Structures are given as C-alpha cells and as structure tokens.
Amino acid sequence: MRVRLLAVWLCNCLGVLSAAAIIPAISYRDDLGTLLLAGAILGIVNFALRPIVVFVTLPAVILSLGVALLFINTLMLWLTSRIVTDLSVGGFWSTFGGALLISLVNLVVRPKRVSDGERERARFDVAHWR
C-alpha cells in the first residue's frame, strides 16, 4: 500500500513538473517543496473528490464517451492550485493542457495494478480463444 501511494505521489510530481516545463502559464516557482506538496495534494484531491464528481457527472461522461473526464481532471488540477498557493496554472486552457499532460504522464509512468494471478488468468483467456 505504501509503495502504491509513493508511486502515485511521484507520478503526480513528474506530471506537474512536465506540465510546468511545457506550458508557460503553469508554474510551481521552481521550488521543490511546492512541487512535492502539489503532487501530494493532487493525489489526495483525486482520491477524495474525483470519484464523487465522476459519479455526479456520470451521464455527461457516458454521453461524451469519456471526454468529460478531461474536464474533471482540469477541475482537480484547478482545485489543487487553489490549495497549494505557490502553484499557478493560469487560465482555463492552460489548466486543461496541464491536466491532459499530467494524465498522459500518469498513464505512461504509473505502474499497472494487475497482480500476477490476474495476469496469468488473462493470458489463459487469450490462449483459450485461439
């Protein structure tokens, strides 16, 4: 459990770092403490609030085929910037771009949650259909 929390935190930090490097309006004032705090707060916001927001907006998420999740990620990044005062995200489009970049970094870097037993079963299912 601790390893997973550490991985999520570091992936969020790497995502915020990447977004700040690519999008000029996003800044953490080159302070490592602010970057680490932003990664932790983003993880907490995503853990505590994101499921509630996704549930409330579920019809929009389904009708948009998941595109609405990008706007939910934008909201989570904006909330994080309101909590972490030294993190600035600029306007809507820079926040949207930052949320998109953070999502992509998390998609690429974050370790998969599949255990070895499930992976073996998935291989068996694929082999069964051949």
Instruction: Compute the radius of gyration of the chain from its Cα atoms.
Output: 17
pLDDT, one tens digit per residue, over 44-103 is 999 999 999 999 999 999 999 999 999 999 999 999 999 999 999 999 999 999 999 999
- The pLDDT of residue 118 is above 60: no
**Model confidence pTM above 0.85:** no
Average pLDDT of span 97-126? 70
Report pLDDT digits (tens) over 6-44: 999 999 999 999 999 999 999 999 999 999 999 999 999
Residue 3: predicted pLDDT: 87
**H-type alpha helices, the chain:** 2-22, 32-48, 50-56, 58-63, 68-83, 92-109, 116-129
**Residue 26 CB: number of other CB atoms within 10 A?**
24
Contact 63, 71 (CB under 8 A): no
The answer to whether residues 84 and 37 touch, using CB atoms and an 8 Å cutoff, is yes
Tokens describing residue 46: 């995503």
All residues at 6 or more sequence positions from 96 whose CB lies less than 8 Å from its CB, including other chains? 70, 71, 74
Flag whether pLDDT at 129 surpasses 50: no
Q: Where are the domains of the chain?
A: 2-129
Predicted pLDDT at 49 = 96
State the helix-helix crossing angle for 2-22 and 32-48, rounded to 10 degrees.
Answer: 120
pLDDT reported for residue 50: 96
SS3 27: strand
Q: Looking at the predicted structure, is the pLDDT value of residue 113 above 70?
A: no
